[in-house]
Chain A
Amino acid sequence: KAGVTQTPRYLIKTRGQQVTLSCSPISGHRSVSWYQQTPGQGLQFLFEYFSETQRNKGNFPGRFSGRQFSNSRSEMNVSTLELGDSALYLCASSLDRGGYNSPLHFGNGTRLTVT
């Protein structure tokens, strides 16, 4: 079974631009979660999508948004990029919501650099 696939692996953007990251979950998984990883703040929860609906959201500004499609693939969008948005963005999928009864499977991440 293919793992969680995130594209692209690396991305360089300029301040003020917007960016879209993509995540394809493991086949059959219905929940997709996104995390931001930075050296200063560590790993922080962005949001979780289940059955095309955002179920939970972390403490991030409205510039961070996402969606999930009927095939469970998810996209994350960041508008009006700031230097502080430079980070590794990790996507994780699980069979069910939450990731505690069915474990989270992570992708390799997208490394976003904002200049």
Chain B
Amino acid sequence: AQTVTQSQPEMSVQEAETVTLSCTYDTSESNYYLFWYKQPPSRQMILVIRQEAYKQQNATENRFSVNFQKAAKSFSLKISDSQLGDTAMYFCAFMTSGGGADGLTFGKGTHLIIQP
């Protein structure tokens, strides 16, 4: 079974700063997908960024980028020029490529607070 660990329960930074959220995972699979989801107070989970394990290039979506270290099983999220609207719970998630038999496996989440 896969496990996802987010070691930072809560983080707080000032607006416009850069922040990095940590995620490590454990799997014996070689092909899989990694995701970062954001859950604001509205409760809706929103996909922030995804990474295919077979791609060495780190994924980037505007102010969001990842540092994917496959050997270390590490998948951190960097948010540049943070904005008040980035305040939310952030979940790291894992899915195998074999049909997603176990669905998404989520970490416990990091509560990110952006201070004005």
Residues on A lying within 8 angstroms of B by beta carbon are 3, 33, 35, 42-48, 55-56, 58, 88, 90, 92, 97-100, 103-109
In the complex, the answer to whether B43 meets A35 with C-beta atoms within 8 Å is: no
Number of interchain pairs (Cβ within 8 Å): 64
A42 with B106, Cβ < 8 A, contacts A97-B100, A100-B97 known: yes
Bound-complex Cα distance A99 to B47 (A): 11
Main secondary structure of the interface of A (DSSP, over half): strand
Bound-complex Cα distance A106 to B91 (A): 14
In the complex, given contacts A43-B91, A56-B103, A58-B103, what are 19 additional A-B residue pairs having Cβ atoms less than 8 angstroms apart? Answer: A42-B108, A45-B104, A45-B105, A48-B100, A56-B101, A58-B102, A90-B43, A98-B95, A98-B99, A99-B100, A100-B50, A104-B104, A105-B47, A106-B37, A106-B44, A106-B46, A108-B42, A108-B43, A109-B43
